[in-house]
Chains A and B, each alone.
Chain A
């Protein structure tokens, strides 16, 4: 099991938060994230999600965590992280899924 640095965990937390906020409108993105089977596929899904994030931003739906994550280049850092731990992409995926569904669970409904 990979032990991550605290700034790496912070990156994943922020990315998870923003995916959670997108999941409110586009729940299928979280399902897609759950289904990824390779690092390349994972990157592809993350890129799609970032496009969704831009769209939501343009529509004017604002969220504090979302803005914070965008400002610190959460997705860019996340892609770097996936490339760094390519053989263990599954673990990064699990952590992001936990954060995103957790956010979805406590913020909405």
Chain B
């Protein structure tokens, strides 16, 4: 019985821990296999051929669903399927790594993804994986190479750009790491794509929780259709989000979680305050940690706004701001986005100085408010409530 249980241990890394959670979710939710969630590992009974085939089929279905989006062609008015080309999963219009090979089901499910069906032991003629440190037998150059599809912060081309801590271009990984790293791109994570005049930016957010059990619980709350957070869209998968930076996106997510989970009363016990932001800009990947210092204050602001008036700071206030010149002129869009970023960051990070900076007169522009926000009294009330709940006793 002991040999029949497959254990996948935690990597203590944001990317692979999320991937393990996603694998557990696929097995539990789609394949109806009982997964045992523990703090530092998941375990499940070994999969048979039929189950692995089912898992591969599920991943194959998700590849088209997650890595593509529907867009209406303006000329022909026909819905077209377009690739999310900014992701490293696609190169020259084709999937790479495991995602490409996954279509060769017959070859792959018994020989390659063997960690799902048997416990791997140290083998002769084997190499050490640079990610997990286990021994493995190399079989395919393209899959064993540690590329950006396996671990996004890998710099592949030049060693001199890698630094000391980043993975090196010649690093390799085992099939388990390659499989987990590749399928994480199909996970449900909040993201936005901002297409600006100078450069395009894509922000992906991943929750960072030390306990796999809690991570699974939190991600399941987000995935729950009742919370209504995720929706497959062109530039973002968050419902009704027009945010242009990661802080606004995060504030928007918190608001939605707060609004929905207050009803089902699950949020009080678990709320993730640590996130990892993966920013893709001009083909480069930047990883940043977003740590919310004072979640209690955020809850206080939400409570005072939502209970009295059913308002939220981002959805009903920040979203409607823009930067207008003191004298007549056009709206400054870049400054509008920057102001929204500063306001959201200030509220999330409990940094009043940053919030106040958005209201400074900069570049001859001042904060204005769209008419949708309400009349003069409404605008005054909204700011007063934010200030009272934040700065008042």
Contacts and interface: CB of A to CB of B under 8 A. Distances in A.
B292 to A, nearest CB: 15
B359 interface: yes
B361 A30 contact: yes
A98 B359 contact: yes
A31 interface: yes
B393 A5 contact: yes
B361 A34 contact: yes
B356 A97 contact: yes
B353 interface: yes
Nearest to B366: A105
Contact of A4 (B326, B376, B391): B391
Given A30-B361, A98-B383, A101-B359, A109 B324 contact: yes
Contacts of A5: 392-393
B242 interface: no
Interface residues of A, number: 26
- Interface size, B (range): 20 to 34
A9 interface: yes
Contacts of B379: 102, 106
Nearest to B353: A94
A63 interface: no
B369 interface: yes
Contacts of B353: 90, 94
B388 interface: yes
A68 to B, nearest CB: 13
Contact of B392 (A3, A30, A101, A105): A3
Contacts of B376: 106-107
B126 interface: no
Given A106-B369, A106-B380, 17 more contacts: A3-B393, A6-B392, A9-B387, A9-B388, A13-B387, A27-B361, A91-B352, A94-B353, A95-B387, A101-B359, A101-B360, A104-B366, A105-B366, A106-B376, A106-B379, A107-B376, A109-B324
Interface of A: 1-6, 9, 13, 27, 30-31, 34, 90-91, 94-95, 97-99, 101-102, 104-107, 109
